[in-house]
Structure 1
Amino acid sequence: MIRFLVAALALCLLTLTSACAGPRFGDNDPVDWDGPPPWNYDIHGIDVARFQNDIDWGRVAQSGIEFAFIKATEGGDRLDPKFARNWAGAAQAGVRRGAYHFYYFCTPPEVQARWFIRNVPREGGALPPVIDLEWNPYSPTCTTRPPGAEVRRQARVFMDILERHYGQRPIIYTTLEFYRQTGIGQLNEEFWLRSTARTLATTYPGQSWSFWQYTGTGVVPGVAGGVDINVFAGNRATWQRWLRARTR
């Protein structure tokens, strides 16, 4: 983390450009970016699940974090035990929050959508729901990898159901491996993309995106241990326009 902070400060002193703009957070495993670094962006957020234990959302908000995607459900019958606490805590601290669902390819999309709706309230001010699409080779129950056309069909079914219920089109979160193997980028949807060693222009060339998950080992006050940190694609004015268009 010290090397990360020193490098960032040196960049600011040498360039005196927009590299000094926006909030910056520590990282337990920093990288040398191949393009504009993530701290160039104005709007930073986190995504969390039970692994982060109890979060001090007041400290999170004071640190400069402005949004959070909170794990709610998985498959057709699993609820994150920290979801209700995180959902309420983020809202109380003034952190914009949305819920995400980890998708299983062994359960029909209709069943998973109903499970998400059963557990995630339809509340004003919430960010759009998220469908987390990635392979899960460590699952004890579901390692199925359908062909790309089937993956895309199931994603559309799930997203259509959620859109009808929440009045918001869900966002797709995905990883580079899943993106390349399934052609999920063929869908004309809004994306949240993971890339923790290279910029998105390198890893997902030509793909539009709204959110970039740039580390899984970030350091944020109020969160114990490493945490995923993300940025929004635009500046602060663009963020406000996005919120007006995409929140309930």
Structure 2
Amino acid sequence: MKAVALAAVTALAACGGGPTRRVVTDISIGSGQSVQGSFTGGAVPLLGDTAPHVWTSGHPYNLPVHGVDVSRYQGDVNWHQARASGINFAFIKATEGGDHSDPAFRRYWAETRAAGIPRGAYHFYYFCRSGAEQAAWFMANVPRERGALPPVIDLEWNHQSRSCPFKPSAAEVRREVGIMMSMLHQYYGQRPIIYTTVDFYRDTGVRNVGAEFWLRSVADHPRGTYPGQQWSFWQYTGTGTAPGFRGNVDLNAFAGSRAQWNRWLATRSQR
């Protein structure tokens, strides 16, 4: 396991414009190896990483609003402790394909609400079911609830799938995803967010479906891995740590300031 130590000093600018701090870090990795780096904004000191990346093009801790995405593999979570440590939102796996639901979804859904953490549900897309079937399955399992975040469609190639080796064309992907998005939008009253990975984004042209994006980029800032693409959420590590979680957890950052986060919540939460 790698240890990370951060030391900070103040100075200048941040995400979204306006006067802010500059933080200079001394990142110690493993047995005494040290890397100097600087980034704007402020670190979230209680969040960590068991396999930290040395960011050279925009540090995720530039951004003040962080959250997690979870599934049953996280086990028991102390959500009150997570919230107190700086976890501002959670995306919870609800469904996959047309017949699988995550066994922890309903428990996490209730626990995050009790802890006062804004949360939304996500669906892992399966390429051997139609978009309409998958939308119907998601709607059967995820309640319409005032204050919930928009539904999320998780789009990534699943190269290890034993039950569905099918890899559809880019045009078919966009068509079926578009159908699912329309159905979820009509049912939940908010247009879904698309989560995706670099290779899926590149292969399918999913940028053209007119969605708000949550992007996975664990070795570079999204502006480097998804040039020109606007985004609202950035999944920056799969080996994160946070109080309330017993093991690793995916960590994510929102693209703006706290004021912008509050405006986003007011606009994009279900009514």
TM-score (norm 1): 0.95
Question: 2:223 matched to which residue of 1?
Answer: 201
- Mapping of residues 144-155 of structure 1, within 5 Å: 144-155=166-177
Q: Closer, same or farther in 2 for the Cα pair 1:20/1:247, shift >3 Å?
A: closer
Q: Secondary structure at the match of 2:93?
A: strand
In 2, the alpha carbon distance for the partners of 1:84 and 1:173 equals 21
- Say which structure is richer in helix: 1
The structure with the largest alpha-carbon Rg is 2
Question: 1:23 matched to which residue of 2?
Answer: 44
CA contact (8 A) 2:66 2:253 kept: yes
Q: Secondary structure at the match of 1:216?
A: strand
Shift of 1:189: 1.2
> Structure 2 stretches of 5 or more lacking a match?
12-20, 24-39
1:34 to 2:36 alignment = no
Q: Closer, same or farther in 2 for the Cα pair 1:63/1:146, shift >3 Å?
A: same
Deviates more, 1:179-188 or 1:216-225: 179-188
How many aligned residue pairs are there? Answer: 244
CA contact (8 A) 1:22 1:43 kept: no
- Mapping of residues 40-79 of structure 1, within 5 Å: 40-79=62-101
Amino acid at match of 2:196: T
Q: Secondary structure at the match of 2:87?
A: coil
In 2, the alpha carbon distance for the partners of 1:131 and 1:102 equals 6
Shift of 1:3: 4.1
Question: 2:119 matched to which residue of 1?
Answer: 97
- Of 6, 9, 13, the residue aligned with 2:9 is 13
- Say which structure is richer in strand: 2
Runs of 4+ in 1 over 6 A off after TM superposition: none
Amino acid at match of 2:176: Q
1 or 2 for the larger relative contact order (CA 8 Å, sep ≥6)?
Answer: 1
In 1, the alpha carbon distance for the partners of 2:44 and 2:145 equals 28
CA RMSD, Structure 1 to Structure 2 (Å): 1.4
- Mapping of residues 44-193 of structure 1, within 5 Å: 44-193=66-215
In 2, the alpha carbon distance for the partners of 1:140 and 1:70 equals 24
Shift of 1:215: 0.2
CA contact (8 A) 2:90 2:118 kept: yes
Amino acid at match of 2:61: W
Q: Closer, same or farther in 2 for the Cα pair 1:147/1:42, shift >3 Å?
A: same
> Structure 1 stretches of 5 or more lacking a match?
none
In 1, the alpha carbon distance for the partners of 2:255 and 2:202 equals 21
